[in-house]
Structure formats: structure tokens, C-alpha cells
Amino acid sequence: MTQTLTIPRPDDWHLHLRDGAMLKAVLPETARHFGRAIIMPNLVPPVVTGADASAYRDRILAAMPEGADFTPLMTLYLTEETDPEDVAKAAADGLVHAVKLYPAGATTNSASGVTDFDKVRPVLEKMAEIGLPLCLHGEVTDPDIDIFDREAVFIDRVLDPIRKATPGLRVVMEHVTTADAVAYVQGAPKDLAATITAHHLVINRNHILVGGIRPHYYCLPVAKREVHRQALVTAATSGDARFFLGTDSAPHIDALKEHACGCAGCFTATNAVSVVAEIFDRESALDQLAAFLSLNGATHYKLPVSVRTLTLRKGEHCTYPSKIDSDDGPVTVFDPGFPLHWSVTTGK
């Protein structure tokens, strides 16, 4: 029996598009299924000012495939030198939809991030005043903290103090990976939300490490124990408006993933919608799929829900390429490790 499901066109509330040859290669993968995406600013050098964001948006629009209807929602990379007035102007111009805080050293290209959180206080206060969301990479970088504990410690040491010191600041805790983060978000008022990736709904830390090391499953925050994955699935499928998809699709060429010091990032843009649908189907939660993919994020970012649609159709199986090509080299598409059944067609 064919089953179909039509939902408003999904958005990706956390995406790495990179630049140059990689941008050209990965942009069509996202634009095929998603209508908008929050574009991460961790280029080298990072997208720090409104002028940087405007130039980057132009490069994205120039790389857009023929006939695509996709809107990049730009963000600024928060540094200790960020000028609150520049942020306010970029937001007022409709150019920038969030500011991204990377603790310095937390992940790929985060060296220009924040070490002293007091130094960014004026920017955070300005953002609270104008209602501009703060996106957070929620991991401490203290070498004494075990990598599997870094998200939970971040909540106590950084996130909670920032929220208490900046009332009214709208925050998105990005790519949450723990039951601790889910509980914290559930217990907070609606000005706090969280993105969840497709891959963290699928893998736990055993998938990375048991039977050989799987570099294409290595990302940051690193996947945790199974109990945490289950908490993420429960949150995503609950319909709670504070949780929505942010794929964190993060392309790195295979040569740099399959490496003595492999880069962090799972590339999921190509199949994320089908992967998420599969998870929701397994949980008998397809009635909540539109909330997670298409409604909750738009509400948090105070943007209209897409008037375009996307139709998912359940069949024998639906296949995706295992790699995509770029002029820099091949990029491996995330392998969920189980067959996918929901194929995607886009409507008007």
C-alpha cells in the first residue's frame, strides 16, 4: 500500500555550506528539499560583520543551481570584538537572522570564537533588546572535561549563566546530543529552543567506535550513549515546539575524514529528510513530522511557514548516492545503516 505525506517545505535551522568549490557542490543537495537554511558562519576567515555576511550571501546566491528556490538565512560569527551596532544594523536590514557563539577551540574553525563571555555581554544585551536569536555551540573546551561530558557541563557553566544575565535573550542550543540538554530546554521558557540533527537521531557512540573506527560518524558534539539518542528521538517526535531540525550537515572531503586526525562533521544534506522520516515512522510519530521539519523552527525564528510543499512517499526502498563529487574531492553522504523507505518529491 502506498502511503504519502504532504508537509510544508522543510527548513534546515543549522547548515554548513562552506565556500568556493565545496559550496558549489553541496548547495544543490540542500536546495533540493529545503526552502531555507540558517547558514553557519565558520568560514576561514569567519563571517563576522554585516559586510562579510552580505558578501557571503552573494556568493551563495551566485552558486545557486538553475531553478532552485532556496533562501539562505545568514548568521554572524560572534567574536570578542563584535560591534553591537553592526549586528543591530545587519538584523534591521533583514540580512542576518542569528548570531553564532562558538566557544574558542570547540570545533571546526572556532579559533576566533569566545573565551571570555563577559566580553560579548554588550552584544548579547543588544540582541536581547532587538530580539535577535543567539545560536550556541554548547560545549565547554576545558581540557579537563571529558569530551562526552562537555555539553552537560556547558549548560551549567555557560548557558544557564548567560540566560540568567540576559533576560529576554532568545537562544537556540544547537545540535543537542544529551538527555541533559533536552531536559534543560523542556524546563525553560519558550525563548530557549534546540536544534537536533538527523544523524544524532540515528547513531550513538557505539556506531562510531565498535568493530572499527567510523570516521564518517565523527562529528561535534560527538554522539553519546544510546539513552541520550533515545531522549533526542523522544524530544523530536514529541511535537514540542522548542525542538526542530538543524542538520549540521558539515561536508569535509573524504581525504580529510579518513585521516590520522579526521575532521568532525557528518554530511547529511542529501538524505536528511528521508532519514528523519524513517525515524518518525519507526516511532509511529509521522503526525509530528511537519512540526519538527517545517513548523517549529519557523515559529522560533518568527518567520512564516513555507507555503510550498514537499511530499514523502513510502515505497520498497529509496536510495541516495553514497558520495557526492566536488572539485576538491568526494564527500561521503551519511549512511544511516538501515534502509530508507520515504522518498521525497517537491511540490509548488
Nearer to Zn ion, 11 or 248 (CB): 248
* Residue 177 in contact with ligand DOR, rule: CB under 6 A: no
* Number of chain positions touching Zn ion (CB under 5 A): 1
CA dihedral of residues 12, 180, 236, 37 (deg, nearest 10): -10
Amino acid at site 279: I
Rounded Cα distance, 207 and 67, in Å: 38
Site string for ligand DOR, 28-67 (x = CB under 6 A): --------------x-------------------------
Nearer to Zn ion, 240 or 248 (CB): 248
Residue 3 is given by DSSP the state E
Q: Which residue in 1, 3, 96 sits closest to 313, CA to CA?
A: 3
Rounded Cα distance, 304 and 184, in Å: 27
**Residue with CB nearest Zn ion?**
248
Instruction: Tell me the residue ranges of DSSP E strands in 93-169.
Output: 96-101, 134-136
H helices of the chain, in order, are: 20-31, 50-62, 84-92, 121-130, 150-154, 160-165, 179-186, 205-209, 226-237, 254-257, 272-282, 289-290, 296-300
Nearer to Zn ion, 248 or 281 (CB): 248
Site string for ligand DOR, 234-273 (x = CB under 6 A): --------------x-x-------------xx--------
Which of 16, 33, 57, 242 binds ligand DOR (CB under 6 A)? It is: 16
* Residue 343 in contact with ligand DOR, rule: CB under 6 A: no
Contact (CB, 8 A) for 229 and 222: no
Helix, strand counts (H, E) of the chain: 13, 13
Which of 139, 248, 278, 335 binds Zn ion (CB under 5 A)? It is: 248
State in angstroms the smallest separation of the CB of 250 from Zn ion.
6
* Number of chain positions touching ligand DOR (CB under 6 A): 11
Which of 137, 170, 242, 257 binds ligand DOR (CB under 6 A)? It is: 137
**Catalytic residue status for 12:** no
Q: Which residue in 205, 206, 302, 284 sits closest to 239, CA to CA?
A: 284
| Identified catalytic residue from 52, 240, 248, 335 | 248
- The residue whose grid cell reads 514540542 is 240
State in angstroms the smallest separation of the CB of 175 from ligand DOR.
7
Here the cell at position 205 is: 557512540
Chain residues 94-123 in contact with ligand DOR, contact rule CB under 6 A: 107-108
State in angstroms the smallest separation of the CB of 283 from ligand DOR.
25
List of residues contacting ligand DOR (CB under 6 A): 16, 42, 107-108, 137, 219-220, 248, 250, 264-265
List of residues contacting Zn ion (CB under 5 A): 248
